[in-house]
Amino acid sequence: MSSERVERVIWHDVECGGYEADLPLWKELAAESDGPILELGCGTGRVVLHLARVTEKLVIGLDVDDELVAAVWDRAGGFGGGAEIEDARDFKLHEWFQLVLAPMQLIQLLPERTDRIRCLACVADHLERGGLAAFAIVEEPPWPGGDVAPPIPDVREVDGRVYSSLPLPPEVREGAIVLRRLRQTVAPDGAFEEEANEVVLQELSAETLEREAMEVGLTPIGRREIPATDAHVGSTVVMLEMVA
């Protein structure tokens, strides 16, 4: 396996693996669900494996990155969690779900409105009647000002190499919110490397997402809030139901 492929998993763990602010909401929704659960954009399994362990239900994650999906299976440990290599815009599974989750602004990573519609349509096709879908979005780039202390980096050590990811102030560019980080690594021999990393989120309001969901037969039933942390923006969670 190439070092680049290994580092995709490591950086995902560094920047996302320690995030816990949304877990209470997903756990609450999972506890209220009577059937299988699907997570879109599962990464290395932060949510899917947590829910599989605390609920003992079947929880399946989807991700387009084969290395991240492989990491989920490596960490599953016999619980009812797993993952498939699938695109959130075009997936067909032999399963119906009572709950579909899209954490960490997954829907905003899709570049166009047509991509969001395709994703929402796939979700509708896989939801049982009465099933719920929950999409976390960020509507604006909140960033503390004034005397608020700057964020501290997320840091992990793997095989003697230190990985550090420092959140930088987000930017707004041409209808998108750009989340920026400074990645730095220190090798066991002291060699130092750094690079900038950006994640582009398309601007999207809860109202727009709700209208688009209605186009594919999903019914908006309210919103929930996930608070911001020192290293991650807060989210609005758009709640949708399959009524028909």
Q: How far is CA 21 from CA 18, 57, 69, 158, 205, in A?
A: 9, 21, 23, 24, 21
Assess contact for 164 and 184: CB atoms under 8 A: yes
Which of residues 148 and 89 earns the better pLDDT score? 89
Contact residues for 59 (Cβ-Cβ < 8 A; gap 6+): 30, 36, 37, 38, 39, 48, 49, 51, 52, 80, 81, 82
Residue 8, pLDDT > 50, answer yes
Q: What is the pLDDT of residue 13?
A: 96
Superfamily of chain region 3-140+204-242: Vaccinia Virus protein VP39 (3.40.50.150)
Q: List the one residue out of 122, 130, 137 whose CA is nearest residue 207.
A: 137
Residues forming beta bridges with residue 200, ordered by sequence position: 178
Dihedral pair phi/psi, residue 13, rounded to 5°: -65, -45
Nearest to 180, CA basis, from 202, 165, 162: 165
Given a cut of 70, whether residue 65 has pLDDT beyond it is yes
**Domain residue extents for the chain:** 3-140+204-242, 154-201
Q: Does domain 154-201 have CATH number 2.20.25.110?
A: yes
Q: How confident is the model at residue 143 (pLDDT cuts 50, 70, 90)?
A: low
Give the pLDDT mean for 1-30. 89
- pTM score, whole prediction: 0.92
Which one is predicted more confidently, 4 or 157?
157
| Antiparallel, parallel or unpaired: β 176-186 and 161-173 | antiparallel
Give the whole-angstrom CA distance, residue 196 versus residue 121: 35
Can you tell me the mean pLDDT for 222-238? 88
3-state secondary structure of 150: coil
Give pLDDT tens digits for 186-227.
Answer: 999 999 999 999 999 999 999 999 999 999 999 999 999 998
- Quick one: pLDDT at residue 188? 96
170-183: average pLDDT? 92
pLDDT class for 146, splitting at 50, 70, 90? Answer: very low
